[in-house]
Structure formats: structure tokens, C-alpha cells
Amino acid sequence: MPRNVDPVDTSGLRQNFCLIFGIICAAWISNGERTVYDKVFMRLRFVLILMFAVVVATAIGAPLSLEEAAQMARERAPMVRIAGEQVHEAAARAAQARAAFLPMVRLNSGYTTSDNAVNVFMFALNQGEFQLAGDLNNPDRADNFQATAQVAINLFNGGRDWAIWRAARAAARGSDFARQATEDEIILGVTRAYLGLLTAQEFVRASETAVNAYASTEQVMTSRVNNGTALKTDLLNVQVEKAQAEERLLQSRNALALAKEGLRLAIGLDSLSVSEFQLLDEVKLSEPGAVAPAMRPEVAARDAFADAARREYRAAWGGLMPSVSAFASVDHYKGWEFDGSNNSWTAGLTLSWSVFDGFLTSSTIKEKRARMRAAEEGARLARLQTSVELTSAANSLKEATERVAVMQRAVALAGEGADLTRQRFEQGLVLTSHVIDAENNLVQAEVGLAQAKADRLIAIATLRRALSLPILGGSSR
């Protein structure tokens, strides 16, 4: 009975079609050459079209690798993009906090006209044109143009600005570490989804092989029943097993379709147009050497956020201190009714101290203290979780490696047993039920081996993440 029957691969047909189409187009363009000039450029076009056809054929036939899927997730996954925007947001908040240490400069201007006694009096004073002559209670209309340049800076506010700035910087660092943690989580999710898809492919291949095996057995039993050398009940048993194998094939194909959708979701694609993927044995992940705790980005992010909470708590205490600021301004006045102009300047210091604010500051201090303690416990929890993840990942890799070895032996034994059972069945020495059991054992062993290989690769990826190593290899952060 035939074994190891793979689905039809049409990538080679598509490649050949693209190459033949490119050659035909190039030959058609080169037809009708006349001058030497035309021949040179037509041949150049021929080479370019042929090169394009080769590139297209290669791109069409190339399967989507795990590394390519991970790179697409780095660029397209919504969670990675959200984390990146959160980093930009945190950096902008840090820049806003830094603005407290820089002077604020404002420019103002305006034009006013009035016959109000007070306004006319102020216009005349500012323009340097005040005179006691005339009716001061009912003056004529006057106008005034004023241009002002102001500068102000905070000198002291109990350390609040400094603490807020340090808190914003710590939060920005935490957001960057959180982005790294999110990217690692997405890559690990893509790895799981991709390996799940490859496992589903192996399930489909095993199911197709089982269906073909039962179909071959059915032909043999049909011939024997027709010749009167076998009972019809044996044929019916084979047909029942074949129908069940076909049902499993339908289920495995549906699982493969769902696995593709899971990969599409993990990558963040609106549609997954790729239909070719690597084989499970083609995926290689390097097993890490020494297993030693390392600083995970999740822990670093929690530490940074806890540091930001401590800075905010310090800033809240600054609300009990006075604040001192300096200011200066330059004014220019111009009037056309008085036909005068004048300049003036102002400078000074401002001291402000909130003596009683309805317990607002004390309540803020309590709030920031509680948030600080919660952030510190969150950092401690992250350390505990990552330590457990490291131990669990190391144990899972050890278990998966042992499972692969066991299932490889099981496949070898099941394959040998199935071959012997088929030979004896063809000689009429065993019953149909023995063949059915042998085929089921072989299929289950092959499926178990595929699952064990995928679990081992996932365990390697999980352990690399737990060790803060690049999940798919490459240079470290």
C-alpha cells in the first residue's frame, strides 16, 4: 500500500509558466529588428524581461519562512505599532516636563481707540504726551498701539519640576522596555502560530496517507470478496475505517485553514495571500547554552515605571513648598491722535505659597504614595513571574526533547510493524483488523512526532525569550 503521499505542489508549475511567458514576451519584442541600434536595445530588453520573469518566478515559488513572518509582524502587528506610539507619547511627555526649566517668551500687540477719560489719560501717559490743558472730564478721542514682549521663568517650586521631569524620563524608558517586551511577545506568538500551521500541515499529510492506505486495502479486500476468499464483513470494516480516515482528513484540513487565519491574526495582515510555507523539519532554532537569569524587558519596564512613581511621589511633596518665579517685559506705545510714542520696561519676582488648599496637597501625597507602592509590588511580581517562566521553559524544553526521541522510536517501530503487517496481509496470514490497527498506530505515531517537534521548537523559542535572547537568533539587543 502506498505511503507518504504528499499534496500536489503547484509552485513549480507557476514558476515554469512565468519563465515561459517571459521568454515568449522577450522573443515577441525582439521580433522585427532592423538596424544595429535596434538590435542592441532589443537584446537589452530581452535580457531585462527574462531577468524579471526569473525574479517573479522565484518570488512566486518561495515559501513564507518563519523569519519572514516575524519580520512582517514587527512591521504590521497592531500591538507593536501601538507600543511604538506609546513610546513616542512618553517621549513627548518628557519634553513637556523639560519645558518647565526653560523661559516662556510671549509677544502681544493691540490697537485701541476711545474717548473714555480714563483710557485717554492712560494713552497720554504711556505715550509721554500728557498735558493738563483741555477738558480732562470730556476729552477728545485718542488711540494707542501697544506692543509687548514678556519673558518669565520658574526659579523654585519645591523641586516639583525636577521630580516631574525625572518621572517623565523614567516613564519614557519604561515605555521603550515595554515596547521591546511587546515585540518579543508578538514574535513568540507568531512562532507558535507558524509552528501550529506546520503541525496542521503534517496532520493533513498523515491523514491523506491514511486515506490512501485504506483505499489500497479496500481494493485488495474487494478483489478477495469477489473471488470468494474473504468475508464481506472484512470489506465493510475497511470501508468504515476509510470513511473515518476521510472524516479526520476533513477535520485536519479545517484545522489547517484555522491555523492560517491564526497566523494572519498574529502577523496583523488583512489577508494572507501566501499558500506555501516551510516544512516542519526545515525550521531551525538554536538551543541556548547555559540557562542563567537575565534582565527581561518586562522587568526593566516595571522597574522604570516604579522609579517614575517614586519621582511623582517626590513631586507631590513639593506642593507644600513655596514657588518663586521671575518675569520681565518691554512695552512700546504709539498714538496717532497725540502723535507720540514711548517705551517702558518692567521686571520683578513673584513668591507664591499655598497655606491652605482644602487638603488637596495632602490627598495628592497619599495618592502618589499608594501608586508608588503598587508600582514597586508590580516590579517584584514581574521578577517572580519571569523566574518561574525561566524554570518552566527549561523543563518544557527538556520534556519536549525527550518526547521527540521517544516518538522517533515509536514511528520507526510503527513503520516496521505496518510493513510486516501489510506483507503478511498480502499473503493472507493476518486479518483485516490487524492491518487497520497497524495503520492507525503508524498515523498516530507520525502525528505525535510532528506535535513533539513543534512543541520542542516552541519550547526553544520560549526559553530564548525567558533568557532575554532574540527568539529567532541574530544579534542581541
pLDDT for the residue numbered 288:
87
Listed in sequence order, the residues at least 6 apart from 430 whose beta carbon sits closer than 8 Å to its beta carbon are 421, 424
Provide the pLDDT for residue 21.
52
Q: What is the pLDDT of residue 52?
A: 52
Burial of 122 (0-12, 13-18, 19+ CB in 10 A): middle
Can you give the residue ranges of every domain in the chain?
A: 11-92+167-305+382-466, 101-162+321-368
| CA separation, residue 253 to residues 185, 260, 277, 283, 338 (Å) | 28, 11, 15, 21, 93
Q: Give the span between the Cα atoms of 269 and 265, in whole angstroms.
A: 6
| Per-residue pLDDT, 9 | 39
Q: Nearest to residue 196, comparing CAs of 442, 445, 458?
A: 458
Do 87 and 168 form a contact (C-beta atoms < 8 A)?
no
CATH number of 101-162+321-368: 2.20.200.10
Angle at 327 between CA 325 and CA 333, to 5 degrees: 160
Torsion sign, CA atoms 80, 82, 88, 93: negative
Question: Cα 17–23–29 angle (5° rounding)?
Answer: 135
For residue 375, what are the CA distances in angstroms to 91, 176, 177, 185?
Answer: 20, 17, 15, 22
Question: Residue 456 corresponds to which amino acid?
Answer: R
Helix H or strand E encompassing 90? helix 78-98
Give me 176's grid cell.
521603550
Q: What is the pLDDT of residues 230-267, one digit of tens each?
A: 788 888 888 898 899 899 999 999 999 999 999 999 99
Strands 340-352 and 104-114: unpaired
Say how far apart CA 406 and CA 19 lie, in whole Å: 46
User: In 268-359, which ranges are continuous DSSP H helix?
Assistant: 297-317
455: its cell numbers: 512543541
Nine cell digits for residue 289: 547554552
Decide if 287 contacts 375 (C-beta within 8 A).
no
What pLDDT does 434 receive?
Answer: 81
Which of 3.40.1500.10, 1.20.1250.20, 1.10.260.40, 1.20.1600.10 is the CATH number of 11-92+167-305+382-466? 1.20.1600.10
3-state secondary structure of 294: coil
Burial pattern 158-191, b for ≥16 Cβ within 10 A else e, equals: bebbbbbbbbbbbbbbbbbbbbbbbbbbbbbbbb
Using 70 as the pLDDT threshold, list the residues of the chain that sit under it.
1-61, 132-136, 473-477
Q: What is the DSSP letter of 273?
A: -
Strands 340-352 and 323-335: antiparallel
**Kind and range of the H or E run holding 324:** strand 323-335
SS3 state of residue 360: helix
pLDDT confidence of residue 188? 94
Of 445, 455, 459, 443, the residue nearest 394 (C-alpha): 459
| Residue 1: per-residue pLDDT | 36
Q: How far apart are CA 264 and CA 193, in angstroms?
A: 9
Strand partners, 114: 142
Q: What is the pLDDT, as a whole number, of residue 206?
A: 87
Q: CA quadruple 303, 309, 314, 318: dihedral positive or negative? A: positive
**Per-residue model confidence (pLDDT) at position 57:** 43
Please state the three-class secondary structure of 109-167 as a single string: EEEEEECCHHHHHHHHHHHCCCCCCCCCCCCCCEEEEEEEEEEEEEEECCCHHHHHHHH
- Using CA atoms, how far apart are residues 286 and 291, in angstroms rounded to an integer? 14
pLDDT tens-digit readout, 148-205? 999 999 999 989 999 999 999 999 999 999 999 999 999 999 999 999 999 999 899 8
100 within 8 A of 161, measured Cβ to Cβ? yes
Query: Residue 351: beta bridge partners?
Result: 324
Residue 341's pLDDT is 87
pLDDT for res 69: 93
Phi and psi at residue 102, to the nearest 5°: -105, 150
